[in-house]
Amino acid sequence: MLDIKELTKVYGHFTALNKLSLHIGDGELHGFVGPNGAGKTTTMRILATLLQPTAGTAAIDGADVVKEPKKVRQLVGYMPDFFGVYDHLKSWEYLDFYARCYGFSHAQRMRMIDQLLELVNLQDKREVYVDSLSRGMKQRLCLAHALIHDPKLLILDEPASGMDPRARAEMKGILRTLKDMGKTVLISSHILPELSEMCDSLTILDHGSLVFSGTVEALSRKMRGQAAVEIRLLPQSDDSMLQSAAEQLKQFPGVTGITRGMLALLLRAGVPVMDFHRPPINLEKVFMEVTRNDG
């Protein structure tokens, strides 16, 4: 669905995006994570044809974002991180306006507006003026706007930012529904745990460069390998047993990954091991770890 090759964006002396390469498959829910200024929004704006890259290519379903912007706009639904709404316009009229911008007929518009309002749970707000909706409702309405032309790829830039936990849960539910509908979703956030709960795969950016790209499991495996092993001995263990355990563990300097050999060696040496495990990874810590150079 999405192929990015060595995508670069330079503003004067500042490199916002540095040779980013990425592939996202059909129907995938892909998370885009990184601290502020990592290059998430720049990438998404390039994909939405709002910004031209300095170098590199990006293609959506084979359509190049620079050479075929019209085709790309047909394939992409974009929800920016910050957006405003029009005053003196009702919710259904807001969607009707954008549906007209996409050139839909009156009958098509009326049908899709009701469906979209239902999808984002705003059917009871149909006649309410947009500027009087809560932030969460506006976010959902904007998401509905991004779906008007039935795009294959949804680009959602921090769609849950500023939402309360209930609104976040609702947004997650809607995203799952979209995934079930077969949409490919690229969603950004600077909160890794939030994305890891719902995404199939993740890309972590920092200072415009790719830090990690792969499945959530792969990220977990990678980070678990680096995590310290916690070993607890039986309460009655004396100092000599601890010394023995320490001697045995010297044979495993800088080991990555849980190793059965380590545990077996300890047991053969008669070390009274009560508990041997790696603690579950803390995604907040992972995020801080992989982006630790953030200024």
Partner 1 sequence: MTVNPILAFSARRRMRSARTAWLLTLYALAVLLFGLGVSFHSFLGDTLSIYTMGDAQEGYVVMMIFQFFLLILVTPAMTAGSISGERERQTLDLLLVTHTGSLRIVLGKLLESLGLMVLLVAATLPVMCLVLITGSMTLSQVLVGLLFLAVTAFAMLSVGILCSSLMRRTVAATVVSYLAVFAIGLITLLPLIQDISQAGQAYERMYSGRVYTAPSAVIGGEAGKLRLASFVFNPFLGLVSLLISQTGLLRGTLGSYSYTFYELFDYLDFTGMAWGCMSFMAVAGLILNLLAACFVRPRRRGSKA
Smallest gap from residue 40 Cβ to partner 1 (A): 10
Smallest gap from residue 57 Cβ to partner 1 (A): 16
Instruction: Give the count of beta carbons closer than 10 Å to the beta carbon of residue 78.
Output: 22
**Of the two residues 86 and 252, which places its CB atom closer to partner 1 in the complex?**
86
**Of the two residues 107 and 228, which places its CB atom closer to partner 1 in the complex?**
107
Residue 153 and residue 185: Cα distance in Å, rounded?
Answer: 6
Q: Which residues bind partner 1 (CB under 8 A)?
A: 11, 14, 16, 41-42, 45, 48-52, 70, 73-74, 76, 78, 80, 82-89, 93, 97-98, 100-103, 142, 145, 149
Rg (the chain; Cα; Å):
24
Smallest gap from residue 76 Cβ to partner 1 (A): 7
Smallest gap from residue 45 Cβ to partner 1 (A): 5
Angle at 87 between CA 82 and CA 92, to 5 degrees: 90
**Of the two residues 49 and 291, which places its CB atom closer to partner 1 in the complex?**
49
The contacts of residue 95 (CB under 8 Å, 6+ apart) are 109, 112, 113, 116, 117, 141, 144, 145, 148
**Of the two residues 43 and 196, which places its CB atom closer to partner 1 in the complex?**
43
**Of the two residues 42 and 184, which places its CB atom closer to partner 1 in the complex?**
42
Residue 113 and residue 96: Cα distance in Å, rounded?
Answer: 7
Smallest gap from residue 9 Cβ to partner 1 (A): 8
Angle at 19 between CA 17 and CA 22, to 5 degrees: 100
